[in-house]
């Protein structure tokens, strides 16, 4: 049992140094203040701990070595852009050595390091039951994401921060915030204040620009990139609470299922200059705020119901020949803003596989309806994210 101490400084960029310095402090805090006794790992009344007064070998030194120089994208890399491999060893003499190519690899190693120690039930310190330890670890998947729906179900910022902690402990690297939907718009857009004032479930159940920045920065320091999804043109009926002229087929009852996948029905109009003006204002407000923390921005595109456009006075048709060029113009407009902000666009699978739109080669396509969709997306030349809803 004993306390861990950090070793020699490494060659870092300023951003990398800040990441690693914070990670070292978290590791020290975890070991000294936030560890646990592993009662559940053992049979009842088992004698699994070393004696509190037993002779001990303390952790005498921790050497951390970064073997490469981080790229400029280290704070918000694309999946696979950063080498997360690390090695970790703990000797019976009390020496710890960590090596990694990148600062993110060091973050992953420090997470593992703290998980090798348990608190003694007598509060005599922490101990590592597995020494000597030798670990070589690298991720199997470059994209290890978690999709969190904060529109249908409100979660306070503190809960999202705790979720980021859990993701970091398990070495996830992306948190996808599905932040708006038909049910609510819980995201403050200062240039369009009515969106959250009227679209949130109630006053106060929305994320301010300061809270959003806090969430994204918190993730960044833990190697968990937080990126946004504004789903559209479907799943947008909450916009009608603030800007009713932008939405077609809002809250049709009782036959909502003719016009939407779930109630309340409503989609952004597809051929409206007012909608495009709204989108321009939205993107010019939001994208510069999230770009410092995100390599991706998700523009949705799932479950677009063609029938609702028979109610759209700017379209008056559900025919694919009519809707396809309008959807193409819609997505090209949005992705133009995403790219101009320096981010990579992401969409749901329907835009490619059902609507057969022409997407830029940089667009990442997220599959959710089947495993076969992943193969179809890759066959058409796009990077794919698999998230089959049958396993949700």
With 70 as the cut, is the pLDDT of residue 66 above it? Answer: yes
Per-residue pLDDT, averaged over 54-81, amounts to 93
With 80 as the cut, is the pLDDT of residue 392 above it? Answer: no
With 60 as the cut, is the pLDDT of residue 203 above it? Answer: yes
The rounded percent of the chain whose pLDDT value lies above 70 is 97
With 80 as the cut, is the pLDDT of residue 39 above it? Answer: yes
User: 3-state SS string over the chain?
Assistant: CCCCCCCCCCCCCHHHHHHHHHHHHHHHHHHHHCCCCCHHHCCCCCCCCCCCCCCCCCCCEEEEEECCCCCCCCCCCCCCCCCCCEEEEECCCCEEEEEECCHHHHHHHHHHHHHCCEECCCCCCEECCCCCEEEEECCCCCCCEEEEECCCCCCCHHHHHHHHHHHHHCCCCEEEEEEECCCCCCECCCCCCHHHHHHCCCCCCCECHHHHHHHHHHHHCCCCEEEEEECCCCCCHHHHHCCHHHEECCCCCCCHHHCCCCCCCCEECCCCHHHHHHHHHHHHHHHHHHCCCCCEEECCCCCCCHHHHHCCCCCCCCCHHHHHHHHHHHHHHHHHHHHHCCCEEEEECHHHHCCCCCCCCCCEEEECCCCHHHHHHHHCCCCEEECCHHHC
Confidence of residue 12 (pLDDT cuts 50, 70, 90): low
What digits encode the pLDDT tens for the residues 265-281?
A: 999 999 999 999 999 99
Most confident of 119-123, 129-133, 181-185: 181-185
With 80 as the cut, is the pLDDT of residue 259 above it? Answer: yes
Confidence of residue 83 (pLDDT cuts 50, 70, 90): very high
What digits encode the pLDDT tens for the residues 183-195?
A: 999 999 999 999 9
């Amino acid at each position: 049992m004993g306390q861990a101490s950090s070793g020699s400084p490494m060659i870092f960029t300023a951003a990398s140094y800040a990441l690693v310095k914070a990670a070292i402090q978290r590791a020290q805090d975890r070991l000294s203040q936030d560890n646990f006794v592993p009662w559940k790992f053992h049979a009842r009344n088992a004698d699994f701990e070393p004696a509190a007064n037993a002779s001990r070998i303390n952790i005498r030194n921790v050497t951390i070595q970064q073997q490469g120089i981080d790229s400029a994208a280290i704070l918000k890399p694309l999946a696979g852009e950063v080498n997360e491999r690390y090695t970790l060893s703990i000797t019976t003499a009390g020496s710890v050595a960590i090596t990694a190519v990148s600062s993110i690899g060091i973050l992953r190693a420090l997470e593992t390091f703290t998980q090798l120690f348990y608190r003694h039930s007598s509060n005599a310190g922490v101990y590592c039951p597995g020494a000597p330890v030798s670990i070589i670890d690298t991720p199997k998947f470059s994209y290890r994401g978690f999709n969190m729906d904060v529109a249908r179900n409100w979660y306070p910022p503190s809960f999202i921060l705790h979720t980021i902690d859990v993701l970091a402990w398990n070495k996830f690297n992306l948190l996808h915030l599905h932040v708006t939907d038909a049910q609510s718009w819980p995201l403050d857009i200062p240039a369009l204040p009515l969106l959250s004032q009227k679209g949130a479930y109630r006053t106060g159940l929305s994320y301010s620009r300061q809270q959003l920045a806090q969430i994204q920065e918190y993730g960044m320091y833990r190697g968990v990139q937080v990126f946004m999804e504004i789903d559209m043109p479907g799943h947008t009926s909450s916009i009608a609470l603030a800007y009713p002229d932008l939405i077609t087929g809002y809250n049709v009852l009782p036959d909502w299922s003719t016009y939407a996948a779930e109630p309340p029905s409503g989609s952004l109009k597809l051929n409206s200059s007012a909608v495009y003006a709204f989108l321009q204002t939205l993107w010019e407000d939001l994208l510069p705020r999230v770009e410092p923390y995100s390599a991706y921005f998700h523009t949705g595109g799932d479950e677009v119901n063609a029938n609702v456009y028979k109610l759209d006075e700017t379209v008056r048709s559900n025919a694919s020949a009519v809707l396809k060029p309008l959807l193409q113009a819609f997505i090209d407009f949005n992705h133009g803003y995403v790219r101009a902000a320096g981010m990579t666009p992401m969409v749901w699978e329907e835009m490619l596989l059902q609507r057969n739109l022409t997407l830029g080669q940089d667009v990442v396509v997220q599959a959710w309806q089947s495993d076969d969709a992943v193969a179809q997306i890759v066959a058409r030349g796009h990077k794919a994210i698999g998230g089959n809803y049958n396993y949700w």
